[in-house]
Amino acid sequence: MTPAAPILSVRDLRVVFDLDEGQVRAVDGVSFDVQPGQIVGIVGESGCGKSVTMKALLQLVDEPGRLAGGSIAYRRANGTILDIASLDPRGREIRQIRGAEIALIPQEPMASFSPVHTVGDQIVEALQLHARQWRPDGGRLSRADARSIVVDLFRDVGISMPEQRVDAYSWQLSGGLRQRAMIAMALSCKPRLLIADEPTTAIDVTTQAQVLALLRELQRKYGTAIIFITHDLGVIAQMASEVVVMYLGRVMEQGPVDSIFHAARHPYTRALLRSMPSLRGTTRVALPTIAGSLPHPFNRPAGCPFNPRCEERAGPRCATHVPELREVVAGQAASCFLHHDAAEAS
């Protein structure tokens, strides 16, 4: 069977920040695909460029940041392909896509909702702005109809007493309810692609499990493709079918979740997995850690970005040359000279 064409295809994406102290390469040649209905996990340490990558997909990079290269090919419902990277960040085309076709669940729902408007009013505004998602005939969506849709959405995402909570302000809701309201807002216009940027940050583990179960259920119900960003590999194992491992703005490894967890190829991925607690692990023993820390943005190492912390260096060229991302086994690629040599020899 011929595989479906990707809904999103990112190639050699580059984002830089031009600062007085110099230029920061926050995203440095990232490439990946998202298939219709697929959940792709983006994982890595804090500061590795995950969130900046996702902001770039919606042309939301704050100044002095800018897209410096690459393409973001988005396949619309009618089959046409649009390069988001070429659009004006303030133009009409990207504003038609944001929220309506590609939606974002940000890290901090408290900071994303206006504190002086009810959460219901803010979602109603989004629905009326993108009324064509509910009214293909081009008709106007009345405020009463939009409010009814919001109540149904609140019910779908597990918010109790939705008729009352729709008139609440964000500061009147608990962290879990705010997160559910943000998920309802992201799904309000029936997007084809949902970007979830660490949606379980700052909530307790019980609420986290509920939010993850909710996202899986909504993904099955609506068939929405999801890009799930997190630093928690346990969450990735639960949610994703495909994994992209990032470090210092570059993709270190990518492949199916089972392959990544059971046969990781890149030393960085293996180090991340070793640092995870295990139910089978020995008690009262410190977990292994990755030596060193992420380099300062103005002091990027030459060669492979991970080489100063790597315990499995392939030789001196790791400090002088940047390895390309290459397929090392079927469906799994790594950016590491250890596997380049094996591939070239075979």
Band of residue 243 on the pLDDT scale cut at 50, 70, 90: very high
| pLDDT on residue 53 | 93
The per-residue pLDDT for 346 is: 44
According to the model, what pLDDT value does residue 238 have?
Answer: 86
Cβ–Cβ contacts within 10 Å for residue 250, how many?
22
Among 173, 240, 179, 241, residue whose Cα is nearest residue 204: 179
Please give the average per-residue pLDDT across 170-186, as a whole number. 87
Give the tens place of pLDDT for each residue, 105-128.
Answer: 887 766 788 899 999 999 998 888
Buried b / exposed e over 180-211, threshold 16 CB at 10 Å, is bbbbbbbbbbebbbbbbbbbbbebeeebbebb
pLDDT of residue 136: 67
Decide: 329 and 264 in contact? Cβ < 8 Å: no
According to DSSP, the residues that pair with 41 across neighbouring strands are 228, 243
- Say which range, 38-52, 144-158, 281-295, has the weakest mean pLDDT: 281-295
- Provide the sign of the torsion angle of the four alpha carbons 334, 337, 339, 341, taken in this order: positive
Report how far residue 150's alpha carbon sits from residue 129's, in angstroms, rounded to the nearest whole number: 14
> Can you tell me the distance from the alpha carbon of 65 to that of 83, in angstroms, rounded to the nearest whole number?
19
- For the whole model, what pTM was predicted? 0.89
Residue recorded with tokens 């595989």? 3
Tens of pLDDT, residues 229-239: 988 888 888 88
Summarize the confidence of residues 312-320 as an average pLDDT: 86
Average pLDDT estimate for 73-80: 90
**Do the strands 332-334 and 326-329 form a parallel or antiparallel pair, or are they unpaired?**
antiparallel
Q: How confident is the model at residue 248 (pLDDT cuts 50, 70, 90)?
A: very high
User: Dihedral, CA atoms, 245, 251, 255, 256, nearest 10 degrees?
Assistant: 30
Render pLDDT for 122-165 as a digit per residue (tens, 0 to 9): 999 888 888 666 666 667 788 898 899 999 989 888 888 999 99
pLDDT at 43 over 70: yes
Q: How far apart are CA 326 and CA 329, in angstroms?
A: 9
Contact 171, 178 (CB under 8 A): no
Please check the confidence at residue 20 and state whether its pLDDT lies above 50: yes
**Residue 184 — very low, low, confident or very high, per pLDDT cuts 50/70/90?**
confident
> What does the DSSP assignment read for 151-208?
HHHHHHTT-SSHHHHTT-BGGGS-HHHHHHHHHHHHHTT--SEEEEESTTTTS-HHHH
CA distance 325 to 310: 17
Is the omega angle on the peptide bond into residue 64 within 30 degrees of 0, that is, cis?
yes
